[in-house]
Chains A and B, each alone.
Chain A
């Protein structure tokens, strides 16, 4: 099976500050890859590089068989195939939940309004947001907003979902409802790359855990290994701090 996404020797700096120092990563279809690591280890930057929100300095990213770090790449075409969910939800506050969800299907994928709305209502209903389709995001709790943001990303049927610390801004009692729908998606075979601090979620759901340290992949493998019996001293030190 060829990888859906492969990253080779990816490098990124902001001025003098090196954030990514040669990342290698492969993601197979259906995998759930959890990126763990301390704040500033490069998890978010890596995700933002993957969908070309950040320009990379060096290295290659190949997605669905084409090298998207090539300067001739149609960035929008790539982003239409990847969904991204942000820590701060980033819903559009002037639009209703439904309008948030149909914006990309209608104007980036050229679907008809009826088709886009039908799919969005269907997904919102599945994730317990059916009653909130026609209200504005400020009426929703944080957990509901983040679920709506996940639905918005799913409405375009992306082949890869990127999630950047999607529970980090939530009150503890709301984290569960968001992780719940991610579990469902994982069970359905949605390919996901998540930056997360939720170690128990990573242990239960991830097919692979990647520990980033100082802009490099320090250790990767099945959760039982990386979280249960880490080979690297740095991984052990990190886990000792967060668990």
Chain B
């Protein structure tokens, strides 16, 4: 069934009136041969951005989530800030955040801070994604049953110790699949830094297209992104499955 549908789609594509031109512009073997290595090297920036940003996102996201879930009265102002932060940041398209940070902050000509657009693009990604990830963390923290906190309190543990040893470990186990989903999304969104004219994989491919009137490197970049994200997606599936199995075992 799947094969038939795919076959029909392929036949439709190849027999379309513009196919010859599309083949030349998007699937040119010469252009692919010429560009694959340079695109791969440019992609290295996307990979580095992803790894560094992800660490920042996890730390900031968890801090925001903890701030939002604590009940102590003296943290009330922090809670307000955390709520406003997530609401505002999630409302702004990531591409705008990257543009504002990447062009806006260096334009301020501040002393003592970097004017590197890559750095500011990374900061923008951290700001944007930490707002989403904090909500995932928050859902996890709130899913830990209050009786767990009660028994930890009854043992005389401090609130900080309860978070660290009882609540956060249980929360994180439950949110691994949705977190990885956000990782996959972030991996692709590192492509957005190309709007700053930073030489990442996508910018390189766009440039090539503009100069040579051939879009094949874009297809190459797309393939690289797929190759990067598929392992993460499979890992997500695997962990999700294991979680379901464990919960079933627990319910027996």
Q: Do A and B come from one complex?
A: yes
Is residue A238 contacting chain B, with contact meaning CB distance below 8 A?
no
CB–CB A103/B155 < 8 A: yes
Residues of B within 8 Å of A80, CB to CB, are 156
Is residue B109 contacting chain A, with contact meaning CB distance below 8 A?
no
Across the interface, B155 reaches (CB within 8 A) one of A88, A93, A94, A108, namely A108
Known contacts A86-B150, A138-B250, A103 near B157 by CB under 8 Å = yes
Q: How far is the CA of A153 from the CA of B165 in the complex (A)?
A: 17
Interface-central residue, B150, B155, B157, by most chain A CB under 10 Å:
B155
Is residue A152 contacting chain B, with contact meaning CB distance below 8 A?
yes
Residues of B within 8 Å of A107, CB to CB, are 157-158, 161, 165
Is residue B3 contacting chain A, with contact meaning CB distance below 8 A?
no
A154-172 contacts to B, CB under 8 A, are: 156
CB–CB B154/A92 < 8 A: no
CB–CB A88/B170 < 8 A: no
CB–CB B166/A92 < 8 A: yes
CB–CB A53/B249 < 8 A: no
Is residue A234 contacting chain B, with contact meaning CB distance below 8 A?
no
Q: How far is the CA of A107 from the CA of B156 in the complex (A)?
A: 9
Is residue B185 contacting chain A, with contact meaning CB distance below 8 A?
no
Task: Write the B241-252 contact mask toward A (1 if CB under 8 angstroms, else 0).
Answer: 000000001100
Q: How far is the CA of A92 from the CA of B156 in the complex (A)?
A: 15
Task: Write the B154-182 contact mask toward A (1 if CB under 8 angstroms, else 0).
Answer: 11111001000110011001000000000
CB–CB A90/B158 < 8 A: no
Q: How far is the CA of A138 from the CA of B179 in the complex (A)?
A: 25
Is residue B151 contacting chain A, with contact meaning CB distance below 8 A?
yes
Residues of B within 8 Å of A95, CB to CB, are 165
Is residue B153 contacting chain A, with contact meaning CB distance below 8 A?
yes
Interface-central residue, B157, B158, B173, by most chain A CB under 10 Å:
B157
CB–CB B147/A76 < 8 A: no
Is residue A179 contacting chain B, with contact meaning CB distance below 8 A?
no
CB–CB A86/B250 < 8 A: no
B side interface size, CB within 8 A: 19
Known contacts A107-B165, A108-B161, A79 near B148 by CB under 8 Å = no
Q: How far is the CA of A199 from the CA of B156 in the complex (A)?
A: 31
Q: How far is the CA of A103 from the CA of B158 in the complex (A)?
A: 11
Q: How far is the CA of A53 from the CA of B154 in the complex (A)?
A: 7
Residues of A within 8 Å of B155, CB to CB, are 79, 103-104, 108, 152-153, 156
Q: How far is the CA of A31 from the CA of B95 in the complex (A)?
A: 69
CB–CB B151/A84 < 8 A: yes
Q: How far is the CA of A82 from the CA of B158 in the complex (A)?
A: 15
Known contacts A93-B170, A94-B173, A76 near B151 by CB under 8 Å = no
CB–CB B156/A76 < 8 A: yes
CB–CB B158/A51 < 8 A: no
Across the interface, A108 reaches (CB within 8 A) one of B156, B166, B173, namely B156
Q: How far is the CB of B170 from chain A (nearest CB, A)?
A: 5
Known contacts A107-B165, A138-B250, A90 near B150 by CB under 8 Å = yes
Closest to B151 in A: A90
Q: How far is the CA of A95 from the CA of B164 in the complex (A)?
A: 13
Interface residues of B (CB under 8 A from A): 147-148, 150-158, 161, 165-166, 169-170, 173, 249-250
Please name the 10 residue pairs, one residue from A and one from B, whose CB atoms are nearest each other, closest first: A80-B156, A90-B151, A104-B155, A84-B154, A108-B156, A79-B156, A107-B161, A76-B156, A90-B147, A94-B169
Interface residues of A (CB under 8 A from B): 51, 53, 76-77, 79-80, 82-84, 86, 88, 90-95, 103-104, 107-109, 138, 152-153, 156
Sampled A-B contacts (13; CB under 8 Å): A76-B156, A76-B158, A79-B155, A82-B154, A83-B154, A90-B150, A92-B170, A94-B173, A103-B152, A103-B166, A104-B157, A107-B165, A138-B250
